[in-house]
Amino acid sequence: AILPLDSRRSRPRRIARVLPRAWPRMEAAVRADGGGGGEGPRPRRLLVLNGMGLDTRGDTEESRAYFRSCARFADYDRHIRRSAQELGALVEHVQTNDLEECMARLRAATEEAIVINPAGFSKEAALAECIAGLGKPVIEVHYGNFFAKGAQSAVTASCSGLVVGAKLDSYTLGMRAALTALEPSYREFDHPPAGS
C-alpha cells in the first residue's frame, strides 16, 4: 500500500488513495508562510516517493549500522516537508513497499516532477522502464553514497539526475533539481539546442 505519513504519528498510515482535495489547503499554507509568492504563480507540485524499506529505516540496530544513520521515516518526512516549504513547492510524500503500487503511483502522478528514493527497488528493471516512460523530470536520491559500498541502481539511467551521500539534504537537493528542471532556462546550454 502507498503510505503517506500522518504528521501526528511516527509511523506511516495506510490510505486507499492520495486525496487531491488536500492540495488547496497545502497551497494556502505554503503561501501563508511566504512560499509561492502570494499573488504570483502557483507553487510547483512535486511527488517525493520512497520505495521499499524506507518505512522501517533507522528502526533496528541492523538498519542503523548498514545505513550509518539513526534517521527514521518520520525524520525523512519532516525534512522533506520543511524543504518543500522553504522551496515554495507543494509536496506529496508517499512510501510503498509494493513495486506494482510504486509504478502505478508514478504513472498516475499529476505532479510536475518527481523525486524518488527507490531504496529496495533500486535493482528493478521494471521500475527503470516505468520511469523512462514518464516524460517529466525524475531525480533519484539516496541518503548515503551507495557507490562507496560497491552498489548500483538500475533506476539511475532512466532518471534526469542523481543525488547521493548528502544524507537528508539529498532530498532537498533533489527537490531543488526537480524544480530547476521545470524552468525554461534549464535547457539553455543543451546541445544541440531544442528545435535544431
- The arithmetic mean of pLDDT across residues 123-132, rounded, is 98
Query: Which range has highest mean pLDDT (113-117, 147-151, 191-195)?
Result: 113-117
Question: In which band, very low, low, confident or very high, does the pLDDT at 25 lie, cut at 50, 70 and 90?
Answer: very low
Predicted confidence (pLDDT) per residue in 59-70, tens digit: 999 888 888 889
Please check the confidence at residue 96 and state whether its pLDDT lies above 70. yes
- Listed range (12-16, 133-137, 139-143, 169-173) with the worst mean pLDDT: 12-16
- The arithmetic mean of pLDDT across residues 26-45, rounded, is 61
> Residues with catalytic annotation?
66, 142
Question: In which band, very low, low, confident or very high, does the pLDDT at 14 lie, cut at 50, 70 and 90?
Answer: very low
Cis before 192 (ω within 30): yes
Instruction: Record the cell numbers describing residue 49, joined without a space.
Output: 516517493
Side-by-side strand order, sheet with 45-52 = 90-95, 45-52, 113-119, 138-142, 161-164
Please give the model's pTM, rounded to 2 decimal places: 0.80
Question: In which band, very low, low, confident or very high, does the pLDDT at 193 lie, cut at 50, 70 and 90?
Answer: confident
